[in-house]
Amino acid sequence: MKEFNESVKSIDTYIMFRIKQEAAKLAPVLKNAEREPIALAMGAPTAPPPDFVYNTIKKALEIPQIHTYSSPKGEDWFLEAIAKRMKNRFGVELNPKTEIFSLIGSKEGLANFIRALINPATLEKDKEIILAPDPGYASYAQMIKTNGGLTYGYELSKENNYMPDMYKVWEQMKKDGYNESKVKAVIINYPSNPLGATCTKEYLQHVVDFCKEKQIWLISDAAYCDIYFNEENKPHSVLETEGAKDVAVEFFSFSKPYSMTGFRLGWICGNAHAVGTFGRLKSTIDTGIFKALQKAGAEILNSQEGDEYINRSNKNFKTKQMIIINGLRELGWKIQDEDIPSATFYIWQPIPPRFKTSAEFTDALLKNSGIVVVPGSGFGKNGEGYFRLSAVASDDKLKEVIDRMKKDGFYF
Ligand SMILES: Cc1ncc(COP(=O)(O)O)c(C=O)c1O
């Protein structure tokens, strides 16, 4: 038989699904040993979404013609609700007709945006380049690779305060042998998966100015912008900065703030040319989102229930974060207060030194204790030596994680 696309052939199933499959395989044995798997790998909140969401969907099902195709762009009232949210949350003005487009989750949007941007090439020297954070969301590099592009991972570290100077990144990239004329875009992701790191508005301005100077696109992934623990210092939208609309698009998701991961609902907004070009591609490959889901999304975005839900769940995430942080401290991890993430439900910590690799540690944690976390190496080469834990399970389960680690000898 004829072969499939070379770059698709070379990728593995997405790391989170592989980990899930592995945990499911071991589940019967672990259950017998009173170590039933506790899933802390996926970045998926386990609490149910607001009741308001379900009630809105139920009501929407009675609307005549709700069952018919939507448009890939999204219904007008959905796009208008997004514009209103962007104005209220960030003070950003957007034209819903030209600067916003609906997504079947931000993962789909990012993948198709990258597809729209890159001219696929097979020879390494011809490949177009996208700069992406390392450690960073595991899917970026796979999306770039399967679309015939090349990723240059720029390092996020405590030393650069998780906000690297883009001009230094550029110089390093050239030293590493990458051809600057091939660079198409920079991806940023604040608050960060897997680090939980945030950035300042000044830093966003720096990246916008840099992209304008280099005439490259800025792709901002804001999937976690509403999961934060400091009311006075909420994460910003890149579109709040001067000149952002000249170069930037930003991706948003209903998945994390409203616990709506399975709904597959999000949006892209920003530069009208980029949104429009992406939209033409989207119009050939999908036909939008079920209108009842758009109704739920549109209404929760600007409702008191939605804001209260976010406040409540952020308080809950903070409690969960501290159960794990305090537990790890008792187990010998040295965690300074200033290193506790101020956003996201992720905990990113070094592996104990007796383990040679992050995979060896996460494997041992799964096989001995039924605790499912992700090796840092899954987030790029700079993630080696670390692991990521999503503090999304119930408080009791998180306490059980710490108990099991103590019983099973997982001290730092
Ligand atoms: C950084 C980041 N971006 C995007 C996504 C995709 O989220 P969704 O497709 O559910 O909107 C995720 C999911 O984990 C993520 O961590």
Three-state secondary structure string covering 1-51: CCCCCHHHHHCCCCHHHHHHHHHHHHHHHHHHCCCCCEECCCCCCCCCCCH
pLDDT of residue 232: 87
* Residues listed for the chain: 412
**For the residues 22-40, what does the mean pLDDT come to?**
94
* Backbone Cα Rg of the chain: 21
Residues 97, 22: one domain?
A: no
User: Same domain, yes or no, for 36 and 87?
Assistant: no
Which is it for strands 100-103 and 38-39: parallel, antiparallel or unpaired? unpaired
Co-location of 283 and 351 in the same domain = no
- Cβ of 344 closer than 6 Å to ligand 1, yes or no, is no
Strand partners, 111: none
Q: What is the mean pLDDT of the chain?
A: 96
* Peptide bond between residue 191 and the one before it cis (omega within 30 degrees of 0): yes
C-alpha of residue 393 to centroid of ligand 1, in Å: 18
User: At how many degrees (to 10) do helices 304-330 and 291-301 cross?
Assistant: 80
Q: Quick one: 213 and 172 in the same domain?
A: yes
Last residue of a domain, one of 285, 303, 321: 303
pLDDT digits (tens, 9 = 90+) for 241-286: 999 999 999 999 999 999 999 999 999 999 999 999 999 999 999 9
Q: Please tell me whether residues 129 and 65 are part of one structural domain.
A: yes
**186: confidence class by pLDDT, cuts 50, 70, 90:** very high
d(CA 69, CA 397): 42
Residues 156 and 196 reside in one and the same domain: yes
| Domain assignment of residue 268, yes or no | yes
pLDDT of 11 > 90? The answer is: no
> What average pLDDT does this structure show over 35-56?
94
Which ligand 1 atom sits closest to the C-alpha of 264?
10
Half-sphere exposure (Cβ direction) of 210: Cα atoms closer than 13 Å: 23
94, 210: one domain: yes
Question: What residues contact residue 366 under an 8 Å CB cut-off, 6+ apart?
Answer: 22, 23, 26, 37, 372, 373
Is ligand 1 within 6 A of the CB of residue 106? yes
Residue 382 is predicted with a pLDDT of 98
- Asked, for residue 111, whether it belongs to a domain, the answer is yes
pLDDT class for 13, splitting at 50, 70, 90? confident
Q: How confident is the model at residue 314 (pLDDT cuts 50, 70, 90)?
A: very high
pLDDT above 90: residue 14: no
Q: Rounded to whole angstroms, what are the CA distances from 223 to 252, 284, 312, 323, 405?
A: 5, 25, 18, 24, 31
Cβ–Cβ < 8 Å for 373, 379:
no
- 39 and 55 both lie in a single domain: no
* Among candidate residues 284, 303, 322, the one where a domain is terminated: 303
Q: Residue 412 falls within a domain, yes or no?
A: no
CATH for 25 = 3.90.1150.10
Where are the strands (E) in 51-123, listed by range?
Answer: 100-103
For residue 283, the tally of other CB atoms under 10 A from its CB is 14
Residue 1 lies in a domain: no
Exposure letters 341-368 (e unless 16+ CB within 10 A, then b): bbbbbbbbbbbeeebeebbebbebbbeb
Pocket test of ligand 1: the residue of 249, 256, 258, 392 to mutate, having most ligand atoms within 8 Å of its CB, is: 256
Q: What CATH number is associated with residue 132?
A: 3.40.640.10
Pairwise CA distance, residues 104 & 74, whole Å: 10
380 and 265 part of one domain? no
At 316-373, the pLDDT tens digits run 999 999 999 999 999 999 999 999 999 999 999 999 999 999 999 999 999 999 999 9
Domains in the chain, number: 2
Q: For residue 93, what are its two tokens?
A: 């003005």
Same domain, yes or no, for 200 and 237? yes
Pair 253, 107 in one domain: yes
pLDDT in tens, 21-30: 999 999 999 9
Q: Please choose from 106, 134, 258 the residue to mutate so as to test ligand 1's pocket, defined by most ligand atoms within 8 A of CB.
A: 106
pLDDT attached to residue 199:
97
Cβ–ligand 1 contact at 154 (below 6 Å): no
Which amino acid is it at 118? I
d(CA 220, CA 190): 8
> Which atom of ligand 1 approaches the CA of 16 most closely?
14
CB of 189 closer than 6 angstroms to any ligand 1 atom: yes
Its domain, for residue 83, covers 51-303
Q: Are residues 229 and 130 in the same domain?
A: yes
pLDDT at 187: 98
Q: Check if 137 has its Cβ closer than 6 Å to any atom of ligand 1.
A: yes
Predicted structure pTM score? 0.97
Mean pLDDT of 43-60: 94
Q: How far apart are CA 191 and CA 162, in angstroms?
A: 10
Domain boundary among 288, 303, 318: 303
Q: Check: CB of residue 295 under 8 Å from CB of residue 60.
A: yes
For ligand 1, the distance from its centroid to the CA atom of residue 197, given in whole angstroms, is 15
